[in-house]
Amino acid sequence: MSEPNRNDMLELTGIVRRFEQAGETLEVLRGADLRVGAGELVALVGPSGAGKSTLLHIAGLLERPTSGTVRIAGTDVSNLDDGKRTEVRRRSIGFVYQFHHLLPEFSARENIVLPQMIAGVSKSIARQRADELLRMVGLEARATHRPARLSGGEQQRVAIARALANAPSLLIADEPTGNLDPHTAEHVFAMLSAIVRQARVGALVATHNLDLARRMDRVLEMRDGLLVEYSPSELTPVGEPASLQGESQTETSQTATS
């Protein structure tokens, strides 16, 4: 096993995940390995049901692997108890989902303040951090607005700011632009990319959008319980890997009919 790299915000080694189902063993992950460096955007692609969500849950310490090693910012967290896993998740990992999951009764600022206060930050400092993040995502003028008064793109930008509230080492994003129109998705992704670079956060981004995947630093395809790496330049409209062509065509068809 290789030595941990201090610049790796996430390292998964030999990740196996099995489920018992109707008396049979289903092996979703069969020894998956990956690394995500500081300031790096890594795309995770593959068809629905391939195991992407399981991998994200393991990387985010929401689920335990059957076997394998998980390191966050160089620290082995594989064998931590549930309480310590929660502490690491709260301190070192930010999550962005397809749906923003903002608390509707709180303002944009308050949605960013709350996770900081849960982590033990004082309200005044949490508020300063929230305002700083809202400036970063271009929503300082909307700080007091509740989610219902924000557009879909604005809500997702608040969700990204909330994910960064506790200055995590790792950002895990599951279809962060999947619920947005193409123009808004482009704007949100550009902003996410800029913040990842600026804050030196490692970002693992699951997406079905191959156009976005092409713009990331590396592309990992989930295939048969393992990860296959491509450079973004290999994901061209003509020459993308055959295993992804069907997925791309499905996305194109869905877009055309929506």
Q: Is residue 151 part of a domain?
A: no
Q: Is residue 148 part of a domain?
A: no
pLDDT, tens digit, 9 for 90 and up, residues 188-199: 888 889 989 988
Q: What's the pLDDT at 256?
A: 33
Sheet holding 8-21, edge to edge: 24-37, 8-21, 67-72, 75-76
> Which CATH number fits the domain that encloses residue 77?
3.40.50.300
Decide if pLDDT at 254 tops 50. Answer: no
Average pLDDT over every residue of 221-235: 84
CA–CA separation, 50 and 223 (whole Å): 7
Count up the domains in the chain and report the number: 1
Q: Cα-Cα-Cα-Cα dihedral of 229, 231, 237, 238, to 10°?
A: -90
* Least-confidence region, from 20-24, 183-187, 220-224: 20-24
Q: What's the pLDDT at 100?
A: 81
Q: Is residue 107 part of a domain?
A: no
Q: What's the pLDDT at 130?
A: 96
Decide if pLDDT at 239 tops 80. Answer: no
* Least-confidence region, from 5-19, 157-171, 192-206: 5-19
Angle between the N-to-C axes of helices 152-163 and 182-199, in degrees from 0 to 180, rounded to the nearest 10: 20
Decide if pLDDT at 94 tops 50. Answer: yes
| Non-local CB neighbours of 237 within 8 Å, separated by 6+ positions | none
Q: What's the pLDDT at 6?
A: 55
pTM of the full structure = 0.83
Q: What's the pLDDT at 2?
A: 43
Q: Which domain does 220 fall in, by range?
A: 8-99+170-257
Q: Is residue 136 part of a domain?
A: no
Decide if pLDDT at 177 tops 70. Answer: yes
Q: What's the pLDDT at 85?
A: 93
Q: Is residue 187 part of a domain?
A: yes
pLDDT, tens digit, 9 for 90 and up, residues 33-82: 999 999 999 999 988 888 899 999 999 999 999 999 999 999 999 999 99
More confident residue, 129 or 180: 129
Q: What's the pLDDT at 122?
A: 95
Q: Is residue 40 part of a domain?
A: yes
DSSP state of 203: E
Task: Give me the chain's average pLDDT, please.
Answer: 86
- Residue 12, Ramachandran bin (φ over 0: left; ψ between -120 and 50: alpha; else beta): beta
Decide if pLDDT at 251 tops 70. Answer: no
Cβ atoms of 170 and 92 within 8 Å: the answer is yes
Q: Is residue 119 part of a domain?
A: no
Q: Can you read off the two tokens belonging to residue 249? A: 């065509």
Q: Is residue 221 part of a domain?
A: yes
